[in-house]
Amino acid sequence: MDGGLGYSYSQLRDATQILAAAMRAKGLNAEDRAAIYSLNDARVLVCMLGIMRAGGAWVPINYRNAIDANVEFMKYAEIRWLFYHSSFREQVEQIRKLVPSLRNLICIDASAGDDPSMEQFMSRIKPLEEADWGDPMGNPDRLVGLVPTGGTTGAAKGVRVTTVPWATFTELAGHYWHSEGIDPVCLSTAPLSHAAGVVSFAMFTLGATNIVMPRFDAGEVLQNIERFRVTHLFVPPTAFYALLDHPRVRDFNYASLRVLLLAASPVSPDRVRQGVEVFGPCICQCYGQTEAPMLLTWLDQKTVAAAAAGDHPERLRSCGRATYSVRLAIMDNEGHLLPPNQSGEIVARGSLVTPGYHNLPEATAEIRRYGWHHTGDVGYQDADGFFYIVDRKKDMIITGGFNVFSAEVEAAIMSLPEVFECAVIGIPNEKWGEAVKAIVVFRRGQSLKEDAVLAHCRAKLGSVKSPKTIEFVAEIPKTPAGKIDRKLLRAPYWAGMRRAVH
């Protein structure tokens, strides 16, 4: 459902079969890359399923990216098909000129010049027998998608999503997100070009009603939970905080919620506790990445609710235990696996892990060192098997010879009730090498003096990990994937230096 637009399951099956046949009739070759460039719209999911039925490889394009970044990725991925929303018609004219591999462009919601609407495109063909892309083993190595990484350093890499990791994710989601005795209703408010599209796809296997919102609006999300009796909702931490801070957050009924999924980056434990209080025992978390989608770990609702009530409260900082289809471990820089409670890089093995990056053998080899998949995330595992992420490996601050993890400092600052959001970075310092700096956004109508924040940090963290300076801002810049853009925050301080470490 998307406003006045909707599809039943049988209508969606018919529409995607026709779209797949139209693509094949127009010359689609096996594993041709087909991109979707659109705002949130129910037809995005029609395109996604139709591309897969046709035998193409689905490529989600983040519309919030700069056009140059999208062009660069589309050239690298050799995109042949582009489904786009009419609101991006001007950008598409530039893309058309700059991406030489493009052959077919279809506007999903209206005709646009010589480009047919999706409805027109689907009406121009005679029905074809549906292609069977399976084999006795499930065609495990077939390319299902080519998904850009969402990092903030360098050009995006194309993650090869083949049948095995895609099917593993879908099966894990069906297991962990299933709730007995309900008709599932999933509200999609984050961009379908990112994790929300992956969540919506998996919810099809549960027979869910997928409700698509055009964009995130905290007030509308809260109203829609009650209006549609939403059972499943995925939000990144920044959106979760906005829901909790909405002035009418306690005016609606959230009794229908079974899975309020937090993912994409670590969440403040105090905010998780507040979420359980407001929304009930439905809060859960998972951890994954484009290279191993969403479900490397799972922190279930009962564990979160118990931790919020005081039973192992430290687990509010955890992203959960390893899921059934993967093995997780902590590794040092020399490839040795570490015992519990020692920090190192989180590494993974299992069928959820990508075969590698498209046409980037060196980058693939880098994440395969020592026979494990390297996530680039720093964390530790406790004696009970719960994993805790403390930072991105490349975001670690080394100050006075000590390692400081940004996420740990951010968690301390976020425990202040006046703080809405914060980011911690390392900046060059003659004495310390790098100095810890915090950028802080207050909640509406709230404020604190710098000395008060620094005193709070010293009490919580000690002098080494505490920020040397605090900057108060109205907003923290985000990447197109909605994550804090540390590269942009660091840039002014490291400009002109030969390297971004000190």
In the chain, which segments carry CATH 3.40.50.12780? Answer: 165-392
Q: CB under 8 Å to 287, separation ≥6 — which residues?
A: 263, 296, 297, 319, 320, 387, 389
CA distance 375 to 396: 15
Q: What does CATH list as the number for 399-494?
A: 3.30.300.30
- The residue type at 20: A
Q: What pLDDT sits at residue 283?
A: 98
Q: What pLDDT sits at residue 375?
A: 95
In the chain, which segments carry CATH 3.30.300.30? Answer: 399-494
- Residue 3, classed as helix, strand or coil, is coil
Q: What pLDDT sits at residue 153?
A: 44
Q: What pLDDT sits at residue 10?
A: 96
Question: pLDDT below 70 — which residues of the chain?
Answer: 127-128, 150-154, 401, 497-502
Q: Looking at domain 9-133, does it have CATH number 3.40.50.1970?
A: no
Q: What pLDDT sits at residue 127?
A: 64
CA distance 285 to 264: 9
Structure confidence by residue, pLDDT tens digits, 120-138:
999 977 766 788 888 899 8
In the chain, which segments carry CATH 3.40.50.980? Answer: 9-133
**Which tokens sit at 336?**
């040795």
Which is the CATH superfamily of the domain at 165-392? ANL, N-terminal domain (3.40.50.12780)
Q: What pLDDT sits at residue 448?
A: 94
State the burial class of residue 493 (Cβ atoms within 10 Å of its Cβ: 0-12, 13-18, 19+): middle
Q: What pLDDT sits at residue 268?
A: 85
Q: What pLDDT sits at residue 108?
A: 96
Structure confidence by residue, pLDDT tens digits, 62-74:
888 878 889 999 9
pTM: 0.87
- DSSP code per residue over 182-227: S--EEEE-S-TTTHHHHHHHHHHTTTPEEEEPSS--HHHHHHHHHH
